[in-house]
Amino acid sequence: MIHLRVIAPPGLAARVLELLERRPSVINVVHLAGAARRPPGDVILCDVAREDASVVIDELRELGLDREGSIALETVDASISAAAREAESAAAGSPADAVVWEEVESRTSESVELSWTFLAFMLLATGIAAVGLLTDSLILIIGAMVVGPEFGPLAGICVAVVERRLELAWRSLVATAAGFTAAIAATTLGTLALRAFDRVPETLGPHPATLFISHPDLFTAIVALLAGVAGMLSLSTAKSGALIGVLISVTTIPAAANVGVAAAYGDWAEVAGAATQLGLNLVCIVVAGVATLALQRALYRRRRATALRS
């Protein structure tokens, strides 16, 4: 269930209540007349089945509540009542498969900011990956994948393409480009410093455990495409725990680290291989993510059209 808190101007409150009360997937409707102070108006509370949450919110927006009032939503962890079970039954589909588009937009908007925290995690992740490459440690490579925050801006690009939001696309692209540029530059400088103090081998040498990072092949594209689908499903549905597995399955951070390390050694063939790996992963993740979101959006439009006819 999704809990909604609506602030409605007095002139719209009756229409909001009528809208909510005619939806069988909406329960626990509470009306507090004149309770809101800023913005002024009535407070209306309700719970709605997750499958119909975006449909109901879209209808509230059409009344102008996003401009003249306020709409807030939060996830209800548990709702123990026969009415809740009936509301979920009235909404077709499974709650686990439902996409609350307002949640998706909120998550992506928060994760595409080019902040010091985002850059810090990019630098930390590539630093760990660089050590993993220099020591040929697969464990460190996996750890770097988990720490990396790069999926947030990539998801932002996917949402921006599907919803045609130019501003979100720009912020996502800037965060992605700046994050990887800073990470590669820092890794190059760090490796050069270690070489200057004779703390690493004279040559990059063979690294069989992590050789795959600079040698992309067909399976690289397949895994990245599958990871893009899984990542968008985990972002847009209730299966957010799957995102960790997605991060471990792609080699964006290790590839960026490899570019920096190989550049410090002047191994340009290795730089080219790692850069190809990085670019292939980024493109495949975005393509798969856009396709996944576009399909979910099309299914939502069909659901909304059906709901409006009822």
pLDDT digits (tens, 9 = 90+) for 34-65: 999 988 999 999 999 988 999 999 999 999 99
- pLDDT tens digits for range 259-308: 999 999 999 999 999 999 999 999 999 999 999 999 999 988 888 887 76
pLDDT at 241: 54
d(CA 247, CA 204): 26
Whether the predicted model's global pTM rises above the 0.95 cut: no
Pick out the chain residues at pLDDT < 70. 93, 96, 238-249, 308-310
- Cβ pair 251, 274 in contact under 8 A: no
> Residue 157, Cα to own-chain centre: how many angstroms?
9
Half-sphere exposure of 179 (CA within 13 A, CB side): 30
CA atoms of 100 and 245, how far apart (whole Å): 22
CA gap 233, 231 in Å, rounded: 5
| Domain 2-97: top CATH class | alpha beta
Predicted local confidence at residue 131, as pLDDT = 95
Helix (H, G, I), strand (E, B) or coil at 44: strand
Q: How far apart are CA 225 and CA 135, in angstroms?
A: 29
Domain boundaries, the chain: 2-97, 104-300
173-181 long-range CB contacts below 8 Å, 24 or more apart? 174/114, 175/112, 175/113, 175/114, 175/118, 176/150, 176/282, 178/114, 178/119, 179/114, 179/118, 179/119, 179/122, 179/149, 179/150, 179/153, 180/122, 180/150, 180/252, 180/256, 180/278
Q: Which of 274, 248, 257 is nearest to 133 (CA)?
A: 257
DSSP 203: S
pLDDT for 303: 80
